[in-house]
């Protein structure tokens, strides 16, 4: 494909990773093509242009029901009809501003391209995509959304009604906006959970405080608590992740 002209510089043809189930850019290879010694605004536009080209490649692979839409700081690829896509972009923009207020001095916007938000039609498409970021073997916990901090950091979600998606968006957007900090997993997750609960008033816990206390007492010991501190407990394919999230939010 031809290079794409943007504001006086060219975005070169995208370098794609090999053997992926859907088009994914080799962002490390693209670093060599970024403008040298450029101002932040120029770099932001370069990477935004590259991200647009990537989303277009994904759109072609996913099918004609998918479309790309854009707001001030986000690029959205989804099968949502235009009105629902606009509601989604409006929500992520509002949530971005709220996170900046709630985590004043901690959270900050990305300055190297607009944030990409992928909403996939169903769980099959979702796992087809996110499997490209997992190790080749192993068991992994189920999810309906995540922030992938690989190369060009981006979100991926399963399409659902907004009240269902809102807590996940708030949680994962928090991760995105503190990614410039070197945080231990438990601090990162505790910050995201507390911010999610503060911003999403429809949060309803699955268990009472007494029930959660009993679960914590039954599970944590000298061995399992080390998995919490190291971050491994969030990778387990069982209910342990729920206890890890709950413990992290109480430590912060």
Least reliable range by pLDDT among 134-143, 181-190, 219-228: 134-143
Interval 122-139 mean pLDDT: 82
pLDDT band with cut points at 50, 70 and 90 for residue 2: very low
Across the chain, what does the average pLDDT equal?
A: 88
Interval 105-124 mean pLDDT: 91
pLDDT in the model for residue 140: 54
pLDDT in the model for residue 16: 94
Interval 49-63 mean pLDDT: 95
Question: How do strand 4-6 and strand 9-11 relate by DSSP bridges?
Answer: antiparallel
pLDDT in the model for residue 150: 82
pLDDT in the model for residue 240: 78
SS3 of 105, please?
coil
pLDDT in the model for residue 53: 94
pLDDT in the model for residue 36: 84
Interval 50-64 mean pLDDT: 95
Write 47-53 long-range contacts (CB < 8 A, 24+). 47/112, 47/113, 47/152, 48/75, 48/113, 48/114, 49/4, 49/6, 49/11, 50/11, 50/14, 50/25, 50/113, 50/152, 51/75, 51/113, 51/114, 51/116, 51/152, 53/4, 53/11, 53/14
d(CA 79, CA 62): 9
Distances, alpha carbon 136 to alpha carbons 130, 155, 246, in Å: 12, 21, 29
Residue 66 burial (CB < 10 Å; 0-12/13-18/19+)? buried
pLDDT at 54 over 50: yes
Question: How do strand 4-6 and strand 115-120 relate by DSSP bridges?
Answer: unpaired
pLDDT in the model for residue 11: 79
pLDDT band with cut points at 50, 70 and 90 for residue 3: very low
pLDDT digits (tens, 9 = 90+) for 160-188: 999 888 999 999 999 999 998 989 999 99
pLDDT band with cut points at 50, 70 and 90 for residue 104: very high
Which range has the top average pLDDT, 7-21, 53-67, 198-212? 53-67
Interval 82-98 mean pLDDT: 95
């Amino acid at each position: 494909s031809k290079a794409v002209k943007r504001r006086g510089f060219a975005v070169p043809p995208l370098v794609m990773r090999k053997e992926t189930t859907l088009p994914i850019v080799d962002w490390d290879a693209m670093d060599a093509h970024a403008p040298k010694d450029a101002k932040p605004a120029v770099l932001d536009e370069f990477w935004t242009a590259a991200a647009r080209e990537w989303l277009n490649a994904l759109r072609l692979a996913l099918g004609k029901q998918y479309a790309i839409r854009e707001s001030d700081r986000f690029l959205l690829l989804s099968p949502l009809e235009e009105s629902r896509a606009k509601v989604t972009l409006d929500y992520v923009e509002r949530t971005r501003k709220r996170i900046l207020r709630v985590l004043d001095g901690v959270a900050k916007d990305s300055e190297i391209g607009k944030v990409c938000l992928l909403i996939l039609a169903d769980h099959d498409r979702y796992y087809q995509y996110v499997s490209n970021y997992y190790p080749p073997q192993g068991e992994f916990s189920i999810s309906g959304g995540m922030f992938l901090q690989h190369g060009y950091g981006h979100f991926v979600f399963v399409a659902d009604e907004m009240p269902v998606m809102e807590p996940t968006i708030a949680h994962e957007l928090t991760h995105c906006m503190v990614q410039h900090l070197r945080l231990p997993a438990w601090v990162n997750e505790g910050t995201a959970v507390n911010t999610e609960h503060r911003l999403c008033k429809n949060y309803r816990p699955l268990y009472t405080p007494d029930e959660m206390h009993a679960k914590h007492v039954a599970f944590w010991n000298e061995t399992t608590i080390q998995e919490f501190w190291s971050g491994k407990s969030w990778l387990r394919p069982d209910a342990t992740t729920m206890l890890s999230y709950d413990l992290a939010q109480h430590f912060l």
